[in-house]
């Protein structure tokens, strides 16, 4: 059993994204009560759950422009409160991503709420981003996981992450192998260059060829047209913008989730 099946209980898992509104302490925050923000998060999480996804990923998407590494304490506190409310209502695995790359905060939140996984954007690569040069954090994450007794919280590590470029461009399959074998990640995530853009299929296939038993996730750009090809090579997909009709400011449309998951269930029968 690979990590995807262990966490989500199915093959070809689909993880829907809850894009949190601007949180206290972020540039776009305009003073909304945390209760109101949590209600919006719950609305999207419930729509994803009702539509049939296998897990949800909570991230502070609208906190941009992001801090390069450590977020403020109010961000951690706010995300913990909101994620705990989601965990009470949604009985599927929950993950946390703290942008831009505060993996220690994500791990702490996930541990506190009973989360199942975290997403880490820069794990074993130094990445040039709009926040500056973001350095990898595999050692810190693994030591914190040990200290928190959080080995049940899986680490999903991006490789050649979107909205960034590796400082030293190396083959994606080589970096994926390092994330798993040297960085001790549990799974790797492959993305396109930006939000909503899929990874090149040849990159997904190259990672699969090099790492036939690895858990591989598609982290952006999955849609009804490319779903079959991408999931033939990958074990799971993280889906955000598609469930909002391409409008990141829109709520999750439960009918789009249902339509997508119906296709996924067809593909599972073929595997």
Domain ranges of the chain: 3-266
pLDDT greater than 90 at residue 1: no
Are 151 and 186 within 8 A, CB to CB?
Answer: no
Rounded Cα distance, 257 and 39, in Å: 20
| The pLDDT of residue 269 | 87
Condensed to tens digits (0 to 9), the pLDDT of residues 222-240 reads 999 999 999 999 999 999 9
The proportion of the chain whose per-residue pLDDT surpasses 70, expressed as a percent, equals 100
Predicted TM-score (pTM) of the model is 0.97
Cα angle value 264/116/174 (rounded, 5°): 75
Encode burial over 124-143: b for 16+ CB neighbours within 10 A, e otherwise: bbebebebeebebbbeebbe
Predicted local confidence at residue 169, as pLDDT: 87
Cross-strand partners of 55: 15
Average pLDDT over residues 16-26: 97
Q: Is pLDDT above 90 for 183?
A: yes
Rounded CA-CA distance 206/187 in Å is 15
Lowest mean pLDDT among 1-5, 56-60, 84-88, 157-161: 1-5
What distance in Å separates the CA atoms of residue 130 and residue 15, rounded to the nearest whole number? 26
pLDDT digit string (tens) for 185-207?
999 999 999 999 999 999 999 99
Q: What is the pLDDT of residues 241-256, one digit of tens each?
A: 999 999 999 999 999 9
217, containing H or E segment: strand 216-218
- Using DSSP, state whether 184 is helix, strand or coil: coil
Q: What is the pLDDT of residues 134-178, one digit of tens each?
A: 999 999 999 999 999 999 999 999 999 999 999 998 999 999 999
Strands across the sheet containing 127-129:
132-134, 127-129, 164-166
Return the bridge partners of 94, or none: 56
Q: Which CATH class is domain 3-266?
A: alpha beta
């Amino acid at each position: 059993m690979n990590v995807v099946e262990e966490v989500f209980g199915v093959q070809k898992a689909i993880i829907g994204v809850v894009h949190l509104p601007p949180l206290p302490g972020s540039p776009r925050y305009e003073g909304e009560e945390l209760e109101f923000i949590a209600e919006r998060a719950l609305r999207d999480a419930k729509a994803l759950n009702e539509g049939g996804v296998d897990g949800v990923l909570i991230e502070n998407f609208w906190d941009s422009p992001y801090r390069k590494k450590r977020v403020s304490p109010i961000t951690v506190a706010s995300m913990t409160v909101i994620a705990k409310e989601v965990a009470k209502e949604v009985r599927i695995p929950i993950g946390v991503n703290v942008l831009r790359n505060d993996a220690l905060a994500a791990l702490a939140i996930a541990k506190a709420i009973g989360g199942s996984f975290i997403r880490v954007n820069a794990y074993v690569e130094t990445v040039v981003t709009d926040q500056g040069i973001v350095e990898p954090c595999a050692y810190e994450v693994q030591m914190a996981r040990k200290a928190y007794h959080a080995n049940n919280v899986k680490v999903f590590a991006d490789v050649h992450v979107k909205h960034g470029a590796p400082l030293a461009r190396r083959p994606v399959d080589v970096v994926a192998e390092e994330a798993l074998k040297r960085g001790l990640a549990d799974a790797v995530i492959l993305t396109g260059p930006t939000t909503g853009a899929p990874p090149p299929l040849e990159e997904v296939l190259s990672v699969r060829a090099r790492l036939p038993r690895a858990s591989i996730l598609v982290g952006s750009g999955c849609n009804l047209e490319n779903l079959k090809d991408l999931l033939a090579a990958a074990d799971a997909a993280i889906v955000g913008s598609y469930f909002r009709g391409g409008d990141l400011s829109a709520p999750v449309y439960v009918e789009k989730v249902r339509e997508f998951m119906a296709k996924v269930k067809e593909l599972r029968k073929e595997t």
